């Protein structure tokens, strides 16, 4: 399973890319607004840090304007993925961009029917928003299950399922069990994946027992080296 990070915060991206776990980045207009930067610079800076796909979303809502914005965004770097909303104009834009071999992430997906349409127009990625479905009393992960099932019936659909609007580690585990291709994680959730209280407690016990021995692996190695000289 691939891990993308859902942020436009360069410090977070830099910090988490050092873990070697990041396969890509997703942004949206709200995240760009939160970063305080201009979208062209922010996306260029992210692309300097990450070699995997970086989603940059168009903000126009009509086909011609979406195409013009997509052209500008796709010229920023070769790894830019154009993000379009799941609307009629968004899917028209997706189809044309895919014919030009430009990668497209279709976002704001809330139903299996919408995911099927995105698959039909050759989207590179479909982004179902699981957290926002949970927020209104639904079960976001049921949608992932349905999309995995539908796409698996049609080998000609190459669209990758990018689970978005992830709120907690359980979303990630459920998505992995279902075989979703990618999760895009807020930095906080990625950090939560590392954590387990028994890891912390176990490490603390090991270290306090170790301290009692008075040993240091590096000092012992140094002593050995000197003795052999
Ligand atoms: O980037 C799209 C998506 O992940 C947004 O998530 O938390 O705003 O519902 P959220």
CATH number for the domain that contains residue 73? 3.20.20.70
Based on the fold, state whether residues 157 and 220 are members of the same structural domain. no
Q: What percent of the chain is predicted at pLDDT more than 70?
A: 100
- The residue segments making up the domain with residue 213 are 197-228
Cα–Cα distance for residue pair 170/29, rounded to 1 Å:
26
Q: Assess contact for 55 and 25: CB atoms under 8 A.
A: yes
Based on the fold, state whether residues 34 and 52 are members of the same structural domain. yes
Around Cβ 155, how many Cβ atoms within 10 Å? Answer: 7
Per-residue confidence at 229, pLDDT binned at 50, 70, 90?
Answer: very high
Mark whether 83 is an active-site residue: yes
Here the tokens at position 161 are 């399922």
Based on the fold, state whether residues 15 and 60 are members of the same structural domain. yes
The pLDDT, as a whole number, for residue 45 is: 98
Lowest-confidence region among 4-8, 15-19, 129-133: 15-19
Mean pLDDT to the nearest integer, 72-96:
98
What letter would DSSP give residue 55?
Answer: E
- Cα atoms in the 13 Å half-sphere on the side-chain side of 148: 16
The pLDDT, as a whole number, for residue 202 is: 98
Based on the fold, state whether residues 221 and 158 are members of the same structural domain. no
Q: Can you give the length of the chain in residues?
A: 229
What letter would DSSP give residue 138?
Answer: S
Based on the fold, state whether residues 108 and 203 are members of the same structural domain. no
Closest C-alpha among 196, 144, 195 to residue 166: 144
110 lines ligand 1 (CB under 6 A): no
7 lines ligand 1 (CB under 6 A): no
Q: Assess contact for 131 and 119: CB atoms under 8 A.
A: no
Mean pLDDT to the nearest integer, 175-203:
98
Q: What is the mean pLDDT of the chain?
A: 98
Does this model's pTM top 0.85? yes
Q: Residues 6 or more apart from 124 whose CB is under 8 A from it? A: 53, 81, 98, 103, 104, 105, 158, 159, 160
> What own/partner pairs with CB < 8 Å and gap ≥ 24 does 106-109 have?
107/28, 107/55, 107/57, 107/83, 107/164, 109/143
The pLDDT, as a whole number, for residue 75 is: 98
Based on the fold, state whether residues 30 and 136 are members of the same structural domain. yes
The pLDDT, as a whole number, for residue 14 is: 96
Domain count, the chain: 2
Q: Which of the residues 2, 34, 71, 83 is marked catalytic?
A: 83
Mean pLDDT to the nearest integer, 181-192:
98
Residue from 165, 171, 188 to probe ligand 1 pocket by mutation (most atoms less than 8 Å from CB): 165
Per-residue confidence at 92, pLDDT binned at 50, 70, 90?
Answer: very high
Based on the fold, state whether residues 109 and 52 are members of the same structural domain. yes
- pLDDT digit string (tens) for 197-225? 999 999 999 999 999 999 999 999 999 99
What are φ and ψ of residue 71, in 5° steps?
Answer: -60, -45
């Amino acid at each position: 399973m691939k891990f993308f990070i859902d942020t436009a915060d360069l410090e977070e991206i830099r910090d988490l890319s050092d873990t070697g776990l990041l396969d890509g980045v997703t942004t949206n207009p709200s995240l760009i607004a939160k970063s305080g930067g201009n979208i062209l610079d922010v996306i260029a800076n992210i692309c300097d840090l990450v070699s995997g796909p970086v989603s940059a979303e168009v903000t126009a809502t009509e086909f011609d304007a979406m195409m013009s914005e997509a052209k500008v965004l796709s010229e920023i770097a070769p790894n830019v993925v154009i993000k379009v909303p799941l609307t009629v104009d968004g899917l028209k834009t997706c189809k044309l961009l895919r014919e030009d071999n430009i990668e497209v992430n279709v976002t704001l997906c809330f139903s299996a029917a919408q995911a099927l349409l995105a698959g039909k127009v050759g989207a590179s990625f479909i982004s179902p928003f699981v957290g926002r479905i949970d927020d209104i009393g639904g079960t976001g992960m049921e949608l992932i299950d349905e999309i995995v099932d539908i796409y698996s019936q049609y080998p000609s659909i190459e669209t990758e399922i990018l689970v978005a609007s992830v709120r907690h580690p359980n979303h990630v585990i459920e998505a992995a069990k279902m075989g979703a291709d990618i999760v895009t994680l807020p930095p906080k959730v990625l950090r939560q994946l590392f954590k387990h209280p028994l890891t912390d407690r176990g490490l603390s016990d090991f270290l306090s027992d170790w301290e009692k021995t008075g040993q240091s692996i590096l000092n012992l190695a140094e002593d050995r080296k000197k003795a052999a000289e």
